[in-house]
Amino acid sequence: MKDFELMKEQKNAYLLIIAIALVMTIWSKENYFAIGFLGLIGSLFTLSSISYDEFDNGNAFLFTLPITRKGYVYEKYLFGLTIGICFIIVGMMISLIAVVINHVEVTGIFEQALPMLSMIIIALALMLPIQLKFGGEKGRIILIAIIGAIFFLGMLIKDNLQALNLTEIIQKLSEMSDVTLFLFSLLVAIVALMISLYSSVLIMEKKEF
């Protein structure tokens, strides 16, 4: 309830973000830009809610209420998934408007939205333990460093596919149907989420306020 009330207080900012997504999607003719953009923005709000909890040592007061640390962690993951999915739906509606205006086929909307769900789950699985462990300021720095390292590693792998014998694996993945690839990515995302959730619970159990 607290996080939703906090989100309601910032509704003008979110309306502005949605308006920007709408304009960018229609103007650039990237008909599915809003799906990815809003999906990630929505899930990122969970991080800001944790920062607000930590402000002025707020967690020390928060845990005097009848909630458990495990319940707190579960709520953050559930909140992040809920907001992320809601924003994906809003992004799909914006993309539908862009599709009608730009006169293209509608089928691509679902092809873009379904993989985005896996990306949101993986993003939360990566970000939440870091945020809970290191807090808002340090957490953002470490997260940027990790994302940079992943990007650098991805570029390195891309430039050395043959040397690493990954060409055949990538070719087999590209031959999968969209449904199979989505289910595979969703399975990987759920496994990552379970590991992340367990890690976050351990972090909160050991944390002192």
The string of pLDDT tens digits covering residues 125-135 is 888 888 888 87
Q: What is the mean pLDDT of residues 109-135?
A: 81
Q: Which carries the bigger pLDDT value, residue 27 or residue 18?
A: 18
Decide: 58 and 182 in contact? Cβ < 8 Å: no
Mean pLDDT, the chain, whole residue set: 77
In this model, does residue 199 exceed pLDDT 90? yes
Which pLDDT does position 172 carry in this prediction?
Answer: 61
The pLDDT of residue 202 is 92
Residue 124 scores a pLDDT above 70: yes
| Residue 70 dihedral angles phi and psi, to the nearest 5° | -65, -45
What pLDDT, on a 0 to 100 scale, did the predictor assign at position 48? 78
What is the spatial distance between Cα 120 and Cα 95, in angstroms, rounded to a whole number? 18
Tell me how far apart the terminal alpha carbons of the chain are, to the nearest angstrom: 22
Structure token pair of residue 143? 């997260």
Position 96: which residue type? L
What confidence tens digit (pLDDT) does each residue in 176-192 have? 666 677 788 889 889 99
